């Protein structure tokens, strides 16, 4: 059976009047958004996380960016950098570096870590996928040049068979997206999540916001706690974002030290309304929220998946029991 996204690529129209977005108290794609948001808000720095056996990836995942789980299948966006961007001195055309070279991937893998698909995304210098989200039917993936204030293409991925549709292009680096299925709004974050964007996505017809300039759509992020790496819509007008803030290493440590975190972001404002530090690290030294992550309801709380490292990484899995979790209507994991 072939399952495709209902939204087909349409001609994108220039639209000069930007209507303020009004998001309803939207549910997550599977209708569990309110409960998921409530449980996340119960987390504190003292909450006990129970680590489960990790899932070893049996393939080179390169540099992971975003993760979603659909049923028993995982989808991981990643960038394979074949030549890192080089610094430009003096800057040229407003850029402090060239775009480098690479290949964008959306990997599909099963519960054993075996790769079952590899979808190549991007075009030319646009090769760096970002954080991804699932809209209940398909996956949204931004792919950008590997430098700030550059260019992006936004793709929607149908899952069976695995394939992509380019939906629109945008004149900024989009590093993560989250899709509100009730309001049909795609939210995007720039390099370092310094800016937020929102594009209305009609079920039929053109995405009229797509050619509006970044300066018109841009909304500044008032928080500097972490830079978001991966975000997911969870309902109630909110998305959950994971990421980190790098800072110069402590004396004697060498390199950079990083602080990880998870935040709930009110999309319409936009600003974080809940912030949780994440201190746990991989043996590599990276915080769990360095790259891709996913979260779902569990029988007695929450389950998290993290992919902090590059290459043949481990997917770290944690259960978080919560005292007020509802269990009577939740027979298995899921959103």
CA separation for the pair 56, 114 (Å, rounded):
9
Select from 308, 304, 307 the least CA-distant residue to 286: 308
Question: Who contacts 6 (Cβ-Cβ below 8 Å, separation ≥6)?
Answer: 137, 203
Give yes or no for residue 314 having a pLDDT over 80. Answer: yes
* Cβ atoms within 10 Å, residue 300: 16
* Cβ atoms within 10 Å, residue 201: 24
What are the tens digits of pLDDT across the range 166-186? 999 999 999 999 999 999 999
For 27-36, 51-60, 120-129, which range has the lowest pLDDT when averaged over its residues? 27-36
CA separation for the pair 212, 209 (Å, rounded):
5
- Work out the average pLDDT over 127-136: 97
DSSP state of 300: S
What are the tens digits of pLDDT across the range 231-282? 999 998 999 999 998 876 654 444 467 889 999 999 999 999 999 999 899 8
pLDDT at position 204, please?
78
Give me the domains of the chain, ranges plus CATH numbers.
Answer: 33-321 (2.115.10)
* Cβ atoms within 10 Å, residue 248: 9
Give yes or no for residue 24 having a pLDDT over 50. Answer: no
- Work out the average pLDDT over 161-165: 97
For 71-80, 128-137, 205-214, which range has the lowest pLDDT when averaged over its residues? 205-214
Which of 3-12, 31-40, 51-60 reaches the highest mean pLDDT?
51-60
CA separation for the pair 140, 138 (Å, rounded):
7
The pTM (predicted TM-score) of the whole model is: 0.88
Cα 267 to the chain's mean position, in Å? 14
- Work out the average pLDDT over 113-141: 97
Residues 229/234/237/243 CA torsion (nearest 10 deg): -20
CA separation for the pair 311, 81 (Å, rounded):
12
Select from 307, 296, 231 the least CA-distant residue to 270: 231
């Amino acid at each position: 059976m072939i399952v495709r996204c209902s939204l087909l690529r349409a001609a994108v129209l220039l639209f000069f009047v930007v209507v303020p977005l009004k998001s309803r108290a939207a549910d997550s794609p599977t209708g569990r958004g309110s409960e998921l948001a409530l449980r996340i808000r119960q987390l504190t720095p003292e909450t006990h996380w129970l680590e489960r056996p990790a899932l070893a990836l049996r393939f080179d995942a390169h540099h992971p960016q975003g993760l979603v789980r659909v049923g028993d299948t995982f989808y991981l966006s990643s960038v394979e950098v074949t030549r890192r961007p080089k610094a430009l001195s003096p800057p040229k055309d407003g850029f402090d570096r060239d775009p480098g070279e690479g290949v964008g991937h959306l990997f599909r893998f099963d519960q054993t870590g075996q790769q079952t698909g590899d979808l190549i995304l991007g075009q030319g210098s646009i090769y760096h996928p970002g954080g991804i989200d699932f809209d209940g039917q398909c996956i949204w993936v931004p792919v950008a040049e590997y430098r700030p204030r550059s260019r992006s293409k936004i793709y929607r991925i149908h899952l069976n068979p695995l394939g992509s549709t380019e939906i629109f292009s945008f004149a900024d680096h989009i590093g993560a997206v989250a899709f509100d299925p009730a309001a049909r709004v795609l939210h995007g974050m720039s390099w370092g999540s310094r800016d937020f964007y929102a594009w209305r996505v009609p079920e039929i017809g053109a995405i009229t916001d797509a050619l509006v300039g970044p300066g018109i759509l841009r909304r500044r992020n008032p928080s500097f706690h972490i830079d978001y790496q991966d975000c997911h819509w969870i309902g109630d007008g909110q998305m959950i974002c994971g990421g980190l803030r790098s800072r110069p290493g402590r004396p004697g440590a060498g390199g950079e030290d990083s602080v990880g975190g998870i935040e709930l972001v009110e999309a319409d404002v936009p600003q974080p309304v809940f912030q949780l530090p994440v201190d746990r690290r991989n043996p590599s030294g990276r915080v769990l929220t360095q790259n891709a992550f996913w979260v779902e309801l569990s029988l007695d709380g929450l389950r998290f998946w993290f992919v902090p490292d590059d290459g043949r990484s481990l997917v770290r899995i944690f259960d978080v029991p919560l005292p007020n979790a509802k269990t009577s209507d939740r027979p298995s994991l899921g959103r």
